[in-house]
């Protein structure tokens, strides 16, 4: 059966899954869940994903798969070629570490539910909320830069000359920088690797603004 991906054009976690699916040549139908309209909170979507977040991936008649990095690991196990992880254990640990700087530590701080909480419960005005978003987005980029600029494993991509999960996460974080007007001039290695990532058709075609549900002039 064709997989079904519940996602949304601007969702960075959806981008991660979309890029991995395309990279591995796995067909999936994307069902948009409009985060701007709060569609993730509707009961029918809650029945798919009780956390009210995207992505969710339907792969069979069983429960949907949730959490983008768990889904990437699943895809890697089910369709090992082309790989998104290096062959050696140490290399895999490095790639997962870089990926999780984004997926585990940085991205959760900028998602709609956090932004809404800062606005509605903490009563932070828009400039203060923007400072929050810019601060955590830049901090993740600078952390990646500190690793990538000095570690000898860095190549054309985050780890050697083939793309991995770390590159999918890095490119998503650069999209976040675009959303929140964070300049990437202080992170030249990240910017260089992002440019390499966008030469990969599967990544480029998966990027937020190239999705059919993306608006022409998005307001973030
Ligand atoms: N750790 C999760 C993050 C899921 C997540 O927070 N997704 C965002 C979109 S990128 C979302 O659905 N947010 C809805 C909300 O915050 O209300 C993953 O990697 O899948």
Q: Look at the pTM and tell me if it is higher than 0.95.
A: yes
- Residue 157 CA neighbour count, 13 Å, CB half: 24
Q: Collapse the DSSP code of 3 into the 3-class scheme (helix H, G, I; strand E, B; otherwise coil) and give the result.
A: strand
Q: Closest ligand 1 atom, CA of 55?
A: 20
Identify the residue whose C-alpha is closest to ligand 1 atom 5.
53
Stretch (H or E) spanning 4: strand 3-7
Q: Which of 20, 38, 53 is the best mutation target for the ligand 1 pocket, counting ligand atoms within 8 Å of the beta carbon and taking the most?
A: 53
Average pLDDT value over all residues in the chain: 97
Q: What's the 17 CA to ligand 1 centre distance in angstroms?
A: 12
Say whether pLDDT at 154 is over 80: yes
33 closest CA partner among 74, 73, 66: 66
Residue 3's CB: how many other CB atoms inside 10 A?
18
d(CA 176, CA 194): 12
Identify the residue whose C-alpha is closest to ligand 1 atom 1.
67
DSSP letter at 6? E
Token reading at 70: 């768990």
Given pLDDT bands bounded at 50, 70 and 90, which one contains residue 218? low
113 lines ligand 1 (CB under 6 A): yes
Helix ranges restricted to H, 124-207: 126-150, 165-179, 188-197, 201-206
Q: Closest ligand 1 atom, CA of 8?
A: 9
Question: What average pLDDT does range 23-41 have in this prediction?
Answer: 97
pLDDT tens, residue by residue, 67-120: 999 999 999 999 999 999 999 999 999 999 999 999 999 999 999 999 999 999
Question: What average pLDDT does range 193-199 have in this prediction?
Answer: 98
Given pLDDT bands bounded at 50, 70 and 90, which one contains residue 9? very high
pLDDT tens, residue by residue, 119-146: 999 999 999 999 999 999 999 999 999 9
211 lines ligand 1 (CB under 6 A): no
Q: Which of 71, 110, 112, 165 is the best mutation target for the ligand 1 pocket, counting ligand atoms within 8 Å of the beta carbon and taking the most?
A: 112
């Amino acid at each position: 059966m064709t997989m079904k991906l519940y996602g949304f054009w601007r969702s960075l976690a959806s981008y991660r899954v979309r890029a991995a699916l395309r990279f591995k040549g796995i067909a999936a139908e994307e069902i948009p869940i409009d985060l701007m309209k709060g569609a993730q909170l509707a009961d029918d979507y809650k029945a798919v994903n009780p956390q009210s977040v995207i992505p969710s991936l339907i792969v069979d008649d069983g429960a949907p798969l949730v959490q983008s990095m768990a889904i990437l690991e699943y895809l890697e196990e089910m369709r090992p070629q082309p790989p998104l992880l290096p062959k050696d254990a140490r290399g895999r640990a490095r790639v997962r570490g870089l990926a999780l700087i984004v997926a585990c530590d940085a991205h959760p701080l900028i998602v709609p539910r956090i932004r809404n909480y800062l606005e509605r419960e903490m009563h932070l005005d828009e400039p203060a909320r923007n400072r929050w978003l810019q601060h955590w987005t830049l901090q993740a980029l600078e952390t990646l830069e500190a690793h990538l600029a000095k570690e000898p494993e860095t190549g054309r991509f985050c780890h050697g000359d083939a793309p991995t999960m770390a590159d999918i996460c890095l490119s998503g974080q650069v999209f976040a920088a675009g959303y929140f007007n964070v300049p990437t001039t202080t992170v030249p290695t990240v910017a260089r690797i992002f440019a390499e990532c966008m030469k990969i058709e599967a990544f480029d075609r998966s990027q937020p603004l190239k999705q059919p549900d993306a608006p022409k002039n998005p307001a973030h």
